[in-house]
Amino acid sequence: MEIKVFGPGCKKCEITEETVREAVAELGTEATVIKVSNVTDIAMAGIMSTPAVAVDGKIKSAGRVPNKDEIKSWIQA
């Protein structure tokens, strides 16, 4: 599983990345968490507002900080 966290480095983006990593660790899931901070790469992914999270290429959230339970549901789906 590949989880991408999109964001240029703002506080909300950092919180989102940290929450995603915590959710992965708590579930014991094998997942690669990738932080995408290059603005061009973010735009090419179709992200219009950050932070954003994509799981296996599907955008699950954009423009807000998702909570840990929400992230866990995406991982378990």
Active site residue 10: yes
The total of other beta-carbon atoms located within 10 Å of residue 73's CB is 13
Active-site choice (5, 13, 23, 55): 13
Active-site choice (10, 27, 34, 48): 10
Q: Is residue 2 within 8 Å of residue 36, measured between CB atoms?
A: no
Residues annotated catalytic, as ranges: 10, 13
